[in-house]
Amino acid sequence: MLLHCRILPRFLFLNPTSNPPPPSLYAHLLLLTNKKTAFASPFSHSASFAPRSHIAVPVSAPSESFLDTDEDHQIQIPLEKLFVPPEVELPEGSASAVLGRVLKGSNIVLGPYTRDAQVTTAEFVKSSVRTEDCPADGIPEFALVGRSNVGKSSLLNSLVRRKRLALTSKKPGKTQCINHFRINDSWYLVDLPGYGYAAAPHEVRTNWEKFTKDYFLNRETLVSVLLLIDASIPAKKIDLEYASWLGQNQIPMTLIFTKCDKRKKKRNGGKRPEENVEDFQNLIREFFQAAPPWIMTSSVTNQGRDEILLHIAQLRNYWLKH
Ligand SMILES: Nc1nc2c(ncn2[C@@H]2O[C@H](COP(=O)(O)OP(=O)(O)OP(=O)(O)O)[C@@H](O)[C@H]2O)c(=O)[nH]1
Ligand SMILES: [Mg+2]
């Protein structure tokens, strides 16, 4: 795990603020339209940065250098669009000092809670169709949701380094229940059925809406939804609607851009994954007060695998402490 060796030590140099009020993990999802309750997000970057400053974050495969300067493999992120975890103050000064703390292919800044990021054990626990039937042991969980065929089950397998722990298929609609997978005996990854499967019978679609939305609204141990978006194609209306629904309901969300290995321009409608990722950010911008965290991934090359696990670790450890 070369990436861990390179990234984890950096986090030791961070300077947590003294006795901050415990910020909510949910705050960054508040909608601008919800003016009555809008407040400054604890995830916002330090106001000392000029608003138009950008950093060029490398998005290339983990084996390549973190400081890759190939412009084709970089994404420009305005500093105010970074996801800054609670208890982190960004270093003042140059953008390069900030870049050293941003996970590759993402807008996520590393904070002081990234311990235990590696997966050592993963086991399937149960399938449920109702929130009440889900495991009741109170440990934190992260749910994978997205359009049918976007790559939820494949990503789960990539994260746990197993080929078929979660079943995948070229045919949409493979996953039909809330499937709990226990990781390191201490947290859950949850595989959910996909939405937007046009060929599914009406009854199945209605049922999906009902039980997944109930799960999101009522599952108290849900730390963050991982909303998967296919980065090899332009943004779909249904994905934008879904992101907006999660925001409106103040359900914490991380955007996981999948299939970033698919770079053939013609099939991608002429756009590279980085461009589709940027377009998606721009399209959802008006719905959110602060930028949600996002990561670029591929289950084929395992791009983004270590980054997701570090992000999950810092959210999970923060959630456990507060
Ligand atoms: N090129 C590429 N293909 C992928 C990637 N992730 C998944 N796929 C392919 O996409 C198809 C669907 O993958 P699944 O993981 O079953 O998708 P899902 O979102 O779980 O689908 P449902 O369970 O039907 O909702 C399979 O053929 C995968 O091999 C990726 O990162 N890159
Ligand atoms: Mg699936």
pLDDT tens-digit profile of 102-122? 999 999 999 999 999 999 999
pLDDT digits (tens, 9 = 90+) for 179-203: 999 999 999 999 988 887 766 666 6
Within a domain: residue 45? no
pLDDT digits (tens, 9 = 90+) for 229-241: 999 999 999 999 9
Within a domain: residue 26? no
Mean pLDDT, the chain, integer: 77
Residue 168 Cβ < 6 Å to ligand 1:
yes
Amino acid, single-letter form, for residue 124:
F
- Which has the higher per-residue pLDDT, 179 or 100? 179
Percent of the chain with pLDDT over 70: 71
- Which has the higher per-residue pLDDT, 315 or 42? 315
d(CA 176, CA 296): 25
Give distance in angstroms: CA of 194 to centre of ligand 2: 7
Within a domain: residue 193? yes
Residue 153 Cβ < 6 Å to ligand 1:
yes
Please identify, by atom number, the ligand 1 atom nearest to the C-alpha of residue 258.
Answer: 31
Give distance in angstroms: CA of 153 to centre of ligand 1: 7
Closest of 243, 216, 248 to residue 146, by C-alpha: 243
The answer to whether 291 and 243 are in contact (CB under 8 A) is no
d(CA 39, CA 264): 42
Largest CA distance in the chain: 56
Residue 265 Cβ < 6 Å to ligand 1:
no
Worst-scoring range by mean pLDDT, 75-84, 163-172, 186-195, 304-313? 163-172
Within a domain: residue 84? no
Grade residue 302 by pLDDT with cuts at 50, 70 and 90: very high
Please identify, by atom number, the ligand 1 atom nearest to the C-alpha of residue 172.
Answer: 24
d(CA 56, CA 107): 10
Q: Hey, how many other C-beta atoms are within 10 angstroms of the C-beta on 100?
A: 15
What is the ipTM score, two decimals? 0.98
Within a domain: residue 267? yes
The answer to whether 9 and 44 are in contact (CB under 8 A) is no
Assess whether pLDDT exceeds 90 at residue 54.
no
Within a domain: residue 103? no
Please identify, by atom number, the ligand 1 atom nearest to the C-alpha of residue 170.
Answer: 27
Q: What is the pLDDT of residue 266?
A: 59
Within a domain: residue 209? yes
Give distance in angstroms: CA of 87 to centre of ligand 2: 35
Indicate which ligand has the atom closest to the C-alpha of 164.
1
The domain spanning residue 245 has which CATH number? 3.40.50.300
Instruction: State which residues form the domain around 188.
Output: 122-311
Within a domain: residue 204? yes
Q: How many domains are contained in the chain?
A: 1
Assess whether pLDDT exceeds 80 at residue 96.
no
Assess whether pLDDT exceeds 70 at residue 8.
no
